[in-house]
Amino acid sequence: MLLPSILRTAVPLLAGWAITVLSGPGLAADSTAVAGGTTVAVSGAYYLAFRVIERLTEKLSGPAWLQMAAGLLLGYAKPPNYASTDDVGALLRQSR
């Protein structure tokens, strides 16, 4: 399913942008490039934090609500499930 992957990419980017914009008064960035780089860094940290929480909760059999909350904050409550294969054509067919 392609939608979960799209959501799990777009939501952290939007969250990073929102966090950067909302922290504007404390952020001394005169350049658009610096602001863009900051947005990417914040988005990456956001994604990593919630993905690690989600994965650790799954591996350690933690509370289901925590895993679901972390997933929702990534844009989709359930992590995508990718088949293990080297056949690119099969992967593309599965993502539809």
In angstroms, the Cα distances linking 82 to 44, 65, 91 are 21, 23, 8
Give residue 64's domain range: 2-22+32-78
In a domain, 18, yes or no: yes
In a domain, 66, yes or no: yes
In a domain, 62, yes or no: yes
Q: What is the pLDDT of residues 72-90, one digit of tens each?
A: 988 888 877 766 667 777 7
pTM: 0.60
In a domain, 65, yes or no: yes
Average pLDDT value for residue range 42-49 = 85
Number of folded domains in the chain? 1
Q: According to the model, what pLDDT value does residue 65 have?
A: 93
Q: Crossing angle of helices 64-73/32-59, nearest 10°?
A: 160
- In the DSSP assignment, the letter for residue 21 is H
In a domain, 84, yes or no: no
Distance from C-alpha of 54 to C-alpha of 49, rounded to nearest angstrom: 9
